[in-house]
Amino acid sequence: MKNLIILLVLVIVFIGAGLYYSFFYPPNVLKKRTEAALQSFAESVATKNRAKIRESLKALLSDDAKIQLNISFFSIIQTNANKPIKQDFTKDAFITFIDNVLYPLTDYSYTPILENFTLAEDEQTAAVMFTSKQWADGASLFGGFSVDTRTSADANCTGEVRFTDEMAQLSQATCAVSLRTVPKPGQEQKIQGSADAMREYLQR
């Protein structure tokens, strides 16, 4: 009987410790809150509703958020590495930028993953690293020809999240983004046509 009581006590202690870790331990709770914020934005992107995406971005970003993108490009007609394009954004400017990017697209997807989370001692902020994979379908111009393309991108971001009540907001992010664009099936001849047109122009 004594051994049974000891076993029951140990089981209760382990269960209690697990519940505390899952629902009350600050680093774990706030990490989950951060993951939920990223996932909420991904879910809004999945709706393909630009108004919902804008509202989700407003909730995700703090009012004083600073976003920096360092974008590298790769395409089927330009494979050499170029110096990344760097652009800094305020919250409003970034929301407008994303809306303008989405406007001409016919389809797109966004999947983020929180890779690292380090909570500050005051438990008000955390340093984070997250990655994302995204793709988009739309028309691109190659030598004056409109070509239906698929653009895919990998992003690696470091930054800071800030916690207020039940929210986790991104207050800073620096992202390296690698973009790759290829023609959709059946569009390759348009790429060849643009290349032929460019050679003809240069030979004049």
- The Cα–Cα gap between 54 and 44 comes to 9
121-156 per-position pLDDT tens digit: 999 999 999 999 999 998 876 666 777 888 999 999
pLDDT at 147: 78
Domain 2-202 = CATH 3.90.79.10: no
- The Cα–Cα gap between 34 and 159 comes to 12
pLDDT at 192: 56
146-188 per-position pLDDT tens digit: 778 889 999 999 999 999 877 899 999 999 999 988 877 765 6
Residue 53, Cβ density class (10 Å: 0-12 exposed, 13-18 middle, ≥19 buried): buried
